[in-house]
Amino acid sequence: MKHVEAARRLKTVEGHIAGIRRMLEEDAYCIDVIRQIQAVQGALNKTSKIILEEHLHSCVITAVQGDDPAERERVLQEIMDVYGASRKV
């Protein structure tokens, strides 16, 4: 189950964020802090990808193969909305 892998990754991210907070409290070199933030962003992106893949292989396939055209359109619009929101960040 991919949710287990995503949850494990988020626990790792939590640890990294706590480390970044400590770095700031200890007045660490700014570039080192930025590198750690970038690492967290990468880990979050990977986690998002895992969850999206799971969604595509379950919910989206079910909707696309189903008989309800409105449901097909809804799940496709969700994907477009999520993709559009990620482009704004």
Q: What does the pLDDT read at residue 82?
A: 87
Q: What is the mean pLDDT of each run of 10 residues along the chain (89 residues)?
A: 88 97 98 98 94 90 91 90 78
The domain limits of the chain are 2-88
The CATH architecture to which 2-88 belongs is Up-down Bundle (1.20)
Q: What does the pLDDT read at residue 1?
A: 65
Q: What does the pLDDT read at residue 89?
A: 62
Question: What is the DSSP annotation of the chain?
Answer: -HHHHHHHHHHHHHHHHHHHHHHHHTT--HHHHHHHHHHHHHHHHHHHHHHHHHHIIIIIHHHHHSS-HHHHHHHHHHHHHHHHHHHH-
